[in-house]
């Protein structure tokens, strides 16, 4: 029972801390073409990103790995464990991203612009970040965490806090998946994959035009028009962008042919 409580706490701590780190990262290192602004990352409405919670639970478990014949505190053991963490977390990211694309027609994140990416779902840069997170926890935090967990579960309001957190989390999950199902149904109707972050950005622009407040929390909520109107606007914007891209490629190809003729 204690281990279950540990995992529940680690998942909650990882989901919230990871969400906070991504908020900071997206503000100071925005995607190409975007300005610095505070963005609520992930698909949930509140301050939680389950991918990081799952990741921290996995990293916590892998921190107990030992190898026969190797010193548990030696550098080789540490290097092997961190490598396993990096590979495992990259696989978690791959499976999560792939499931959302296949089952929901939604691309939650897009690494297409990063070098050596695989289908825009994983790439070496973010695998490196996972390695940093795993290594940082393993080397700096794992021992204090194993000492801290037995104490935290004995705190007077621990169980109340856990119940409150997971009640809010489940409500958020139900609400967010309701929104995702609307997006999925629209995407399947038009045989497209919706890039979640791009759609949310377009939704923010749409709400600004409607003079509707764009909230940091619950950013996917729209009150003045149906969600379908925002999805149609997104689809039209993507179609226009694709046509512009095709026209530019045709111009570039024509320019290359002209230069070859002149030469």
Q: What is the pLDDT of residues 2-53, one digit of tens each?
A: 889 999 999 999 999 999 999 998 888 876 556 677 888 888 999 999 999 9
Report, as an integer, the average pLDDT of 133-141: 94
pLDDT, averaged across the chain: 88
CA distance 74 to 162: 36
Domain of 43, in residue numbers: 2-190
Q: How confident is the model at residue 252 (pLDDT cuts 50, 70, 90)?
A: low
Residue 220 covered by a domain: no
Q: Is the pLDDT of residue 242 over 80?
A: no
Residue 252 covered by a domain: no
The residues, ordered by sequence, that sit 6+ positions from 214 with a Cβ below 8 Å of its Cβ are: 204, 207, 208
Q: What is the pLDDT of residues 160-200, one digit of tens each?
A: 999 999 999 999 999 999 999 999 999 999 999 999 988 98
**pLDDT score of 253:** 58
Instruction: Indicate the number of domains in the chain.
Output: 1
What angle, 0 to 180 degrees and rounded to 10, lies between the N-to-C axes of helices 50-62 and 75-104? Answer: 150
Instruction: Give the CA distances from residue 224 to residues 45, 157, 230, 237, in Å, rounded to whole numbers and listed in that order.
Output: 19, 41, 11, 20
CA distance 48 to 92: 17
Q: How confident is the model at residue 238 (pLDDT cuts 50, 70, 90)?
A: confident
Residue 22 covered by a domain: yes
CA–CA–CA angle 38, 42, 44 (5° rounding): 105
Residue 228 covered by a domain: no
**pLDDT score of 88:** 95
Residue 138 covered by a domain: yes
Residue 233 covered by a domain: no
């Amino acid at each position: 029972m204690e281990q279950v409580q540990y995992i529940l706490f680690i998942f909650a701590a990882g989901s919230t801390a990871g969400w906070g780190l991504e908020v900071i990262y997206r503000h100071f290192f925005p995607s190409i073409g975007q300005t610095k602004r505070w963005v609520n990352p992930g698909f949930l409405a509140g301050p939680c990103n389950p991918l990081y919670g799952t990741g921290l639970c996995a990293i916590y478990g892998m921190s107990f790995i030992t190898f026969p014949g190797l010193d548990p505190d030696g550098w080789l053991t540490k290097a092997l464990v961190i490598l396993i963490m990096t590979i495992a977390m990259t696989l978690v990211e791959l499976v999560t991203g792939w499931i959302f694309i296949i089952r929901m027609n939604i691309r939650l994140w897009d690494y297409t612009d990063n070098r050596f990416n695989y289908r825009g779902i994983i790439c070496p840069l973010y695998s490196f970040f996972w390695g940093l997170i795993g290594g940082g926890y393993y080397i700096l935090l794992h021992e204090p965490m194993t000492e801290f967990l037995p104490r935290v579960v004995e705190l007077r309001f621990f169980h109340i806090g856990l119940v409150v957190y997971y009640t809010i989390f489940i409500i958020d999950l139900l609400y967010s998946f309701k929104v995702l199902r609307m997006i999925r149904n629209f995407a399947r109707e038009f045989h497209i994959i919706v890039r979640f972050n791009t759609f949310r950005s377009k939704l923010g622009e749409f709400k600004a035009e409607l003079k509707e407040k764009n909230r940091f929390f619950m950013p996917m909520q729209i009150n003045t028009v149906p969600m379908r109107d925002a999805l149609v606007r997104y689809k039209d914007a993507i179609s226009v962008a694709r046509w512009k891209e095709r026209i530019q490629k045709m111009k570039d190809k024509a320019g290359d042919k002209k230069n070859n003729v002149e030469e």
